Copies of this chain bind each other. A is one copy, B any other.
Amino acid sequence: MDVRSVLQRYHDGGIDLDEAERLLRLDHLRRVGEHTVFDMARALRRGIPEVVYGRTKSPEMLREIVAALREDDNIVVVSRASEAQYQALCEMDGPMEHGSQSGTIIIGKPPEGRGSIGIITAGTSDIPVADEARMVARAMGCDALCRYDVGVAAIHRILGPIQDMIEAGVDAIVVVAGMEGALPTVVSSLSSVPVIGVPTSTGYGHGGGGEGALMSMLQTCSPGLVVVNIDNGIGAGTTAALISRRARR
């Protein structure tokens, strides 16, 4: 019922004031709803696979959720999955990849050739978060060149990995670092592609748990560095893959 009809019925006494008011409020929402032309699944719309956070689910519940999401042959990513969850998913049919360093699982066959990114970690304890970024990019069809444990306290160790990445022609670099979080700034200052910093929850004391690394990256003096939240490998990998996919159209 459109605005005019409501007004006329109200005028004719077909509906009372309260009912007219209620109908006009609803109409507003319907108009907004029809307005929304983006009415496809998010995965279709954005080209980002559905990511299921594993940690809070039982193996059975997880398998059920994944099965439902797989119905139209979508790629599904499970993050932070336990060994038990992985075993439960292994019983399903179809292709599957397991990033055991981060507990990330890709169910379905990812596309290929959608781009190339670089991933660097400052230390070894940053690798699980880096692996999460690698896996979600992989699920989006994007290859990752990885250089782990590059450090920041030894400048000369940083140059080699960056040269490798320039030579490989990556379109974005994810830099994962805890403690003082200085590495993303240094990498950004040496490269001409966007750098995505991921603080990790390593370190103790004041600024521990990743807060120091996050602050450091936000305070960077190098334009071209952007940041995701602490330990958010999924967010960093997704964005890097979006950048690279765009560059490879």
Contacts and interface: CB of A to CB of B under 8 A. Distances in A.
Interface of A: 3-4, 7-8, 10-11, 17-18, 20-22, 24-33, 35-39, 41-42, 44-48, 51, 56, 122-125, 127, 136, 148-160, 162-163, 166-167, 169, 171-172, 179-182, 185-186, 188-194, 196, 199, 201, 203-208, 210-232, 234-236, 238-239, 242-243, 246-247, 249
Given A37-B149, A205-B201, A225-B235, A242 B194 contact: yes
Nearest to A57: B124
Given A180-B185, A182-B216, A153 B242 contact: no
A232 to B, nearest CB: 6
Given A25-B45, A29-B163, A238 B219 contact: no
Given A205-B214, A205-B219, A223-B238, 9 more contacts: A7-B21, A38-B156, A180-B220, A182-B216, A201-B204, A205-B232, A212-B215, A226-B226, A243-B247
A210 B206 CA distance: 8
Nearest to A170: B246
A140 to B, nearest CB: 10
Contact of A235 (B31, B125, B223): B223
B186 A155 contact: yes
A148 to B, nearest CB: 5
Contacts of A156: 26, 31-33, 35-36, 38-39
A216 B227 contact: no
A161 to B, nearest CB: 10
Contacts of A236: 226
A17 B28 contact: no
B166 A29 contact: yes
Nearest to A127: B35
Contacts of A38: 155-156, 159, 190
Contacts of A217: 180
Contacts of A169: 22
A17 B30 CA distance: 21
A15 to B, nearest CB: 10
